[in-house]
Amino acid sequence: MLKGLLKTQKSFLAGCILTLCVSSSVYSQNRVDCANAKTQSEINACTQIEYQKVDKELNTLYKKIIPKLNESQKATLVQSQKRWIAFRDDYSRIYSLIYKGGTMATAAVIKCKTETTRARIIELKQLLDQIDL
């Protein structure tokens, strides 16, 4: 019974530590001056913030397109978007291999995802233009 109690306490403690780490990371992201980011931690936080903005723009555009499509078109776009997400993630991983073990790896991967997402936004805007003709 004592072993079970210790195991439960360890799991609880690990959960608390994880929560504190995530909370402090989110808190620090909100306080970083991205125009003057100097440390790798600040750069990582700022690249993540930028990626989240671009990803939100992509999702908003995608949600704008979907209702304008018939069922066949919708199924095709949904499938291609799933494949595009897999491509984006796989392609971005190359930077983790290039900078393997380096402090720049995280920022490089996120920056690649951001730029790839920006390119996808352009593609979807062109699609929306065609739908709206």
Q: Same domain for 8 and 44?
A: no
CA angle centred on 100, ends 21 and 48, rounded to 5°? 45
The total number of structural domains in the chain stands at 2
The tens digit of pLDDT for each residue in 107-120 reads 999 999 999 999 99
Same domain, 5 and 53: no
Q: Are residues 49 and 3 in the same domain?
A: no
- Residue pLDDT, tens place only, 75-90: 999 999 999 999 999 9
The secondary structure of residue 104, as a DSSP letter, is: T
Distance CA 78, CA 101 (A): 35
The predicted pLDDT at position 9 comes to: 54
Same domain, 106 and 46: yes
Residue numbers of the domain that contains 42 = 37-131
Q: How confident is the model at residue 14 (pLDDT cuts 50, 70, 90)?
A: very low
Q: What is the CATH number of the domain that holds 50?
A: 1.20.1270.180
pLDDT level of residue 133 (50, 70, 90 thresholds): confident
Decide: 113 and 130 in contact? Cβ < 8 Å: no
Does 46 lie in the same domain as 25? Answer: no
Answer for the pair 45, 28: CB distance below 8 angstroms, yes or no.
yes
Q: Are residues 59 and 110 in the same domain?
A: yes
